[in-house]
Structures are given as structure tokens and as C-alpha cells.
Amino acid sequence: MNEYLEYLRINASYIWGLTVQHIELVGIAIIIAIIIGVSIGIYLTTNEDLAETVLAAASVLLTIPSIALFGIMIPFFSLINQGIGFVPALVALVLYSQLPIIRNTYSAIKNVNPAFIDAANGVGMKRRQRLVRVEIPNALPVIMAGIRTAVVLNIGIGVIAAFIGAGGLGTLIVQGITRTDMYSIVTGSIVVSLLAIIADTVLLLIQKRLTPKGIEN
């Protein structure tokens, strides 16, 4: 135990640096994923035919083994001299987050009580007003749940980014495996788990704050 604490003491700033890198990668990926995913989800509610196709495609994306997806990125991004590192990792994470975000946004808006939609139309709201004032506020808890799933998923999958040189906490695990360094593997895993738990809790608090008071249970 003392030996492990000693390891942590010596490597503290290194671990911290990797943690910050991990948060940056996942954080930026999530922000981009939310912007794209929520927009697509909302758009799909107006285009039934496309909805099925897009949701199916997003599902397929999620079935690709993560390590393979990161690998697939390399030849594509080599074309713009970004074959390994931050950019391909970011793109892979954005793609992975799309399914939970799109699907939850789409079904949350689709499942808003039809009586509210009817009332919104009846009082003379335009399509956009209905979306902003009625549909999104009432769909928010479910949309946020999708975002939370995506964040937790990304923090875990972000570990793989280390394989294509994007750094982050995966570095500790990859190095640990190649050097059979148990402390390194354990540390990497624990920090990733803590990060996921903290992120989920923080997002849950944000979700509660954003949820209109009238639709809390």
C-alpha cells in the first residue's frame, strides 16, 4: 500500500496532466456531439422517413468495436496529416455519442403529450415557437438523460484514444499493459471511473436545474 502511495506521489502531476487531457478530449467531443445530435434529433421529428434511416445508421455506428473505429479514422485523417492524435479521436467520440443523443432527443420530442401540441397549435404558435416554448422544455429531462449516457460512454471509450496517440487516461492503461505495471493500470481505471461518476452526478444536477419546475415529479 505504501508503495502505491509512493507511486501516486511521484506521478501525481503526470496523472493530473493526463486527466486534464482526457477531460478536454471528452468535453470538446460532447459539446460538438450535443450540437450535432440535438439538431439532428429535432430535425428528424419533422421528417419521419429519414428518422428511421438515421436512427438505424447511428445504431450501426455504436456496434463498431471502439478500437476498430479509432483505427478506421487513421487512413482518413492521414489525408490531412492528422492521422493520429487529437482530431481523429475527437471525431470517433463525436460519432459514438450520436446514437444516445439523437435517439433520446427524437423520441423525447415525439413523446410530448399530444394535448400540449394541440394546445400550442390552438393558441397560434408557429412551428418554431412550439418547439422552443413547449416541445423542448417538456422533452428536456429525456434529452439530458441521453446526453448523460453519451458522456459516461465517452469517458470510457476515451481510454482507447491513447492507442492512436491522443493521450488521456488511456495512456496509463496502455503503458501499464506493455510494462506489466499494475499500479499504472489500476490508477488509470480508477480515475476513469471516478471521472464518469462525477460527470454523471454533475450533469444530473444540471438536468434538475434546467427541468422546468412544473414537470418535475
Which residues lie near another protein (CB under 8 A)?
Answer: 113, 115-116, 118-126, 129, 133-134, 137-138, 212-215
Please state the separation of Cα 216 from the chain's center in Å. Answer: 24
Q: How far is the CB of 130 from another protein (least distance, A)?
A: 10
Our CB check for another protein shows the closer of 12 and 119 to be 119
Our CB check for another protein shows the closer of 119 and 198 to be 119
Q: How far is the CB of 72 from another protein (least distance, A)?
A: 42
Query: For the residues of 106-156, what is the DSSP string, one character each?
Result: HHHHHTS-HHHHHHHHHTT--HHHHIIIIIHHHHHHHHHHHHHHHHHHHHH
Q: How far is the CB of 128 from another protein (least distance, A)?
A: 11
Our CB check for another protein shows the closer of 125 and 174 to be 125
Please state the separation of Cα 73 from the chain's center in Å. Answer: 18
Q: How far is the CB of 124 from another protein (least distance, A)?
A: 4
**Contact call for residues 105 and 42 (beta carbons, < 8 A):** yes
